[in-house]
Amino acid sequence: MPATPSGAIDLGGTKIEARLFDAAMQTLELRRVPTPTGDFDSFLAALVGQIRWLEGRAGDPALPVALSVAGVVAPDTGLCTAANIPITGRPLGQALQAALGRALPLINDCMAFAYSEAHGGAGDDAGDDAGEGAGEGAVLGLVLGTGVGAGLVIGGRIPPRHAGLAVEIGHVGIPARALARHGLPLWRCGCGREGCFENYVSGTGLRRIAAWAGIEDADPARLAARIPRDPLAARVMAIWTDLAGEMLDTLQLLLDPQVIVLGGGLSNLPDLPARLQGALAALRLGQARAPLIRVARHGDSSGARGAALMARAGLADSGLRAAR
């Protein structure tokens, strides 16, 4: 990989974050501006301003830059779908190319996170135990935050995605057996369907389970701190861990990753990898070999880092292409 600076935009519903990385992938510069959510033109102007800022700080109008986007970009049309950004139904890549005079890759944020952790992150050694060499195994990046999403890297690359989706595990239906074990109701998801994993296993889901059990306004960190002295808090966390184990079992059955790397706010909960490893061990099929579960090495900057790595490596190497 060429030793050259690169930039990334981390595009979310509250902020547009620009990061400039040096050749060793250390952050040189960082700037955040609020995400304009009222209309597409204001949003585009703010985004272009952040990209121009990166180019200016690097002194390079051709600086490799990629965008980590909390949403879906359709590969055939370039049209975007996002919950909290005013880009739904818009060809963001095409609009950026017209404004900048060059095409920039748009990458799902969970995919960018997984790519980062597969390259110099917590999943960097995937494949070593199979004698395949570092980076040759499958790394799944699982983001547990306000919502739930995941990205997949196989052999160091993001596999082609027919519809531009990441690993949308948050909107897979939770097994009825899991809800029945705990007497939980079937909750409606923001996507319009009922019983999605995201309703139960996200940070929002953990709060919802706590409220259902009788603990109001349960911040996840404070809830975890109460466990040693509060049996109800311990019960809530046990329910959440069991449901998260069901999600991990689903991911293993479908994708069979060697390493699962945790990101998002819930990844900071105490002893979470060990909790989830135990939950998966109780549920997994037969004697199937369990994946390793680790916390992200690069924390909150991992999505931007992954986008910058992919921009530097070039779209051919990443398995993606610039959106139209």
Residue 275 near residue 241 (C-beta atoms within 8 A): yes
HSE (side-chain half, CA atoms, 13 Å) at 41: 0
Give the range of the structural domain holding residue 80, as residue numbers without chain letter. Answer: 6-112+301-318
Predicted pLDDT at 303: 94
**Which helix (DSSP H) or strand (DSSP E) does residue 309 occupy?**
helix 302-313
Predicted pLDDT at 135: 53
Rounded to an integer, what distance in angstroms lies between the CA atom of residue 26 and that of residue 120?
A: 12
Same domain for 94 and 203, yes or no, is no
Same domain for 96 and 62, yes or no, is yes
Same domain for 202 and 100, yes or no, is no
**Domain CATH number, residue 274:** 3.30.420.40
Same domain for 305 and 291, yes or no, is no
Rounded to an integer, what distance in angstroms lies between the CA atom of residue 242 and that of residue 186?
A: 16
Predicted pLDDT at 114: 96
- How many structural domains does the chain have? 2
Considering the domain boundaries, does residue 168 fall inside one? yes
Q: What is the pLDDT along the chain (324 residues), one digit of tens a residue?
A: 445 899 999 998 889 999 999 999 999 999 999 999 999 999 999 999 999 999 999 999 999 999 999 888 898 899 998 888 999 999 999 999 999 999 999 999 999 999 999 999 999 888 765 444 445 789 999 999 989 999 999 999 999 888 888 999 999 999 999 999 999 999 999 888 999 999 999 999 999 999 999 998 889 999 999 999 999 999 999 999 999 999 999 999 999 999 999 999 999 999 999 999 999 999 988 888 899 999 999 998 999 999 999 999 875 344 444 443
Considering the domain boundaries, does residue 145 fall inside one? yes
Whole-structure pTM value: 0.91
Burial class of 322 by CB neighbour count within 10 A (0 to 12, 13 to 18, 19+): middle
Using DSSP's 3-state secondary structure scheme, residue 143 falls into strand
Alpha-carbon dihedral 309, 315, 319, 324, rounded to 10 degrees: 120
Same domain for 167 and 198, yes or no, is yes
Considering the domain boundaries, does residue 117 fall inside one? no
Considering the domain boundaries, does residue 282 fall inside one? yes
Same domain for 274 and 133, yes or no, is yes
Considering the domain boundaries, does residue 89 fall inside one? yes
Same domain for 198 and 292, yes or no, is yes
Predicted pLDDT at 316: 37
Buried-state track 139-168, b at ≥16 Cβ within 10 A, e below 16: bbbbbbeebbbbbbbbbbbbeebeebbbbb
Residue 321 near residue 37 (C-beta atoms within 8 A): no
DSSP string, 273-292: HHHHHHHHHHHSSTTPPPPE
Predicted pLDDT at 307: 96
DSSP string, 216-254: -S--HHHHHHHGGG-HHHHHHHHHHHHHHHHHHHHHHHH
Q: Which long-range contacts (CB under 8 A, 24 or more apart) does 213-222 make?
A: 213/239, 220/265, 220/266, 220/269, 221/268, 221/269
Of the candidates 171, 169, 217, 214, the residue with the CA atom closest to the CA atom of residue 196: 171
Same domain for 58 and 132, yes or no, is no
Rounded to an integer, what distance in angstroms lies between the CA atom of residue 55 and that of residue 65?
A: 9
Structure tokens at 189: 């998801």
Considering the domain boundaries, does residue 151 fall inside one? yes
Rounded to an integer, what distance in angstroms lies between the CA atom of residue 214 and that of residue 217?
A: 10
> For the chain, how many residues are written?
324
Same domain for 54 and 69, yes or no, is yes
Residue 156 near residue 276 (C-beta atoms within 8 A): no
Residue 46 near residue 96 (C-beta atoms within 8 A): no
